[in-house]
């Protein structure tokens, strides 16, 4: 069975970022409710979040170079629309959440330390009202990212376990080759 697959590099990026983002969501909500672990979790949260921001950029370029395989021809339009809309939402949130994190620290005049003496410059001027606003936005967008991720996970499992249409395997396959388009199943 040679179903169409994402390019190997695309799959690699996908699973790497899936792990990183899921970890970040747990680190984020864990650290704001932990006195003992707050500091070390935040010192992982910043560089990991910035790494995600950089990888989203790589991923958007890669998507142009290695377009995703087509969805199965018999997939109903509602599901196609849901798939596209949720992917747009995921990309937008993957970009917005870390950008807002960086911007909020800038507005709060808090240094964006990555590691040791390695620091990023502020991207917005100091303004505490803006800080408060961005801080709330960081939480709201991160929760929206978690909700969208749950939908995405549910859809992936449905493709794999219920519809069995090869969409799950197109991302979950370990094989190096991309497969033959137009031969779903």
Partner 1 sequence: MISKPPDRSRYRLWPPSTGVLAGLGVTGLVLAGVAGAFAYTVGLLSPGALTQTRIVDRFQAVNGIHPGFRRNHAKGVCVTGTFAGNGAGARLSRAAVFGSGAVPVVGRFAVGIGKPFLPDTGAEVRSLALSFRPASGGEWRTGMNDIPVFPVNTADGFYGLLAASAADPATGKPDPAQMTAFLGTHPETARALGLIKARPVSSGFADARYNGLNAFRFVDSSGASTPVRWSMVALDPFVAQVPPSGAAREPNYLFDGLVARLQQGPLRYRLVITVGQPGDPTNDATLPWPAGREEIDAGTLTLDHVEAEGPGNCRDINYDPLVLPDGIATSNDPLLSARSAAYSVSFTRRAGEPKTPSEVQVPARPPATPGVPATGG
Residue ranges in contact with ligand HEM by CB under 6 A = 21, 24-25, 28-29, 32, 45-46, 49-50, 52, 97-98, 101-102, 105, 112, 138-139, 142, 145
Token duo for residue 140: 């709201």
| Residue 116 in the binding site for partner 1 (CB under 8 A) | yes
Q: Which of 8, 16, 20, 38 binds partner 1 (CB under 8 A)?
A: 38
If the CB atoms of residues 10 and 69 are measured against partner 1, the closer one turns out to be 69
If the CB atoms of residues 8 and 160 are measured against partner 1, the closer one turns out to be 160
> Bridge partners of 118?
115
Distance separating alpha carbons of residues 151 and 157, to the nearest angstrom: 10
**How many Cα atoms within 13 Å fall on the side-chain side of residue 65?**
10
Distance separating alpha carbons of residues 122 and 77, to the nearest angstrom: 44
Stretch that binds partner 1, among 4-12, 52-60, 89-97, 161-169 (CB under 8 A): 161-169
Q: Which does 98 bind (CB under 5 to 8 A by kind): partner 1, ligand HEM, none?
A: ligand HEM
Q: Which does 16 bind (CB under 5 to 8 A by kind): ligand HEM, partner 1, none?
A: none
Q: Which residues, including other chains, have CB under 8 Å from residue 153's CB and lie 6 or more apart?
A: none
Please give the residue whose beta carbon sits closest to ligand HEM in the complex. 28
Q: Which of 101, 110, 112, 109 is nearest to 135 (CA)?
A: 101
Strands (E), 59-117: 112-115
| Residue 58 in the binding site for partner 1 (CB under 8 A) | no
């Amino acid at each position: 069975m040679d179903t169409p697959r994402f390019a190997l590099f695309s799959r690699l990026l996908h699973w790497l970022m899936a792990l990183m983002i899921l970890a970040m969501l747990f680190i984020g909500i864990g650290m704001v409710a932990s006195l003992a672990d707050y500091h070390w979790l935040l010192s992982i949260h910043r560089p990991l979040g910035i790494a995600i921001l950089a990888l989203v950029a790589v991923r958007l370029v890669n998507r142009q170079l290695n377009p995703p395989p087509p969805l199965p021809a018999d997939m109903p339009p509602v599901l196609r629309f849901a798939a596209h809309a949720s992917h747009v939402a995921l990309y937008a949130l993957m970009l917005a959440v870390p950008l807002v994190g960086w911007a909020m620290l800038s507005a709060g005049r808090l240094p964006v330390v990555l590691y040791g003496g390695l620091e990023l410059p502020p991207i917005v001027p100091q303004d505490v009202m803006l800080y408060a606003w961005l801080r709330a936005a960081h939480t709201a967008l991160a929760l929206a990212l978690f909700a969208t991720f749950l939908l995405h996970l549910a859809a992936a499992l449905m493709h794999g376990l219920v519809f069995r249409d090869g969409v799950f395997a197109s991302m979950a396959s370990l094989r190096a080759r991309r497969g033959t388009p137009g031969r779903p199943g």
